[in-house]
């Protein structure tokens, strides 16, 4: 039976959705926000992926905290897009992002508790 890494898969799915959304922003010539959102939105998964081969529990926690910060920045850019009437809808992206943020929070909390117990 294959052991599925839920947070990693969710971050990949989210990054693909962000890429699609940013391509739409580029088509609408909204280059500045598209580039910022593309960087932060895909960085979440990159940091989660990097955490999978961390050198220690502290390194794992640190990389996931970076992913959480990137998720927070992504939330900011999506909120701007959502509030600007001339931008396409971000409705489908927020639930994915919130799910990732909740998982990251839980994983970080659990890892910190486990680290404190050792």
Nearest by Cα to 42 from 63, 77, 4, 71 = 71
| 3-state secondary structure labels for all residues of 43-108 | HHHHHHHHHCCCCCHHHHHHHHHHHHHHHHHHHHHHHHHHHCCCCCCCCCHHHHHHHHHHHHHHHH
What pLDDT digit, counting tens, does each position of 73-103 carry?
Answer: 999 999 999 999 999 999 999 999 999 999 9
pLDDT at 4 (0 to 100):
87
Q: Looking at domain 6-113, does it have CATH number 1.20.1440.60?
A: yes
**Residue 52, token pair as written in the block:** 């999978």
Domain ranges of the chain: 6-113
**Mean pLDDT in residue range 64-77:** 98
In this predicted model, what pLDDT tens digit does every residue of 39-63 receive, in sequence order? 999 999 999 999 999 999 999 999 9
Token pair for 57:
């529990």
CB 45 within 8 Å of CB 12: yes
* pTM score: 0.93
């Amino acid at each position: 039976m294959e052991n599925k890494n839920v947070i990693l898969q969710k971050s990949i799915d989210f990054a693909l959705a962000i890429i699609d959304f940013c391509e739409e922003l580029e088509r609408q010539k909204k280059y500045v926000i598209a580039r910022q959102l593309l960087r932060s939105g895909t960085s979440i998964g990159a940091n989660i992926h990097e955490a999978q081969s961390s050198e220690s529990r502290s390194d794992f926690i640190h990389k996931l905290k970076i992913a959480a910060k990137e998720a927070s920045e992504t939330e900011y850019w999506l909120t701007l897009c959502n509030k600007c009437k001339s931008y396409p809808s971000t409705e489908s992206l927020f639930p994915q992002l919130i799910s990732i943020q909740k998982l990251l929070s839980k994983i970080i909390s659990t890892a910190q508790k486990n680290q404190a117990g050792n």
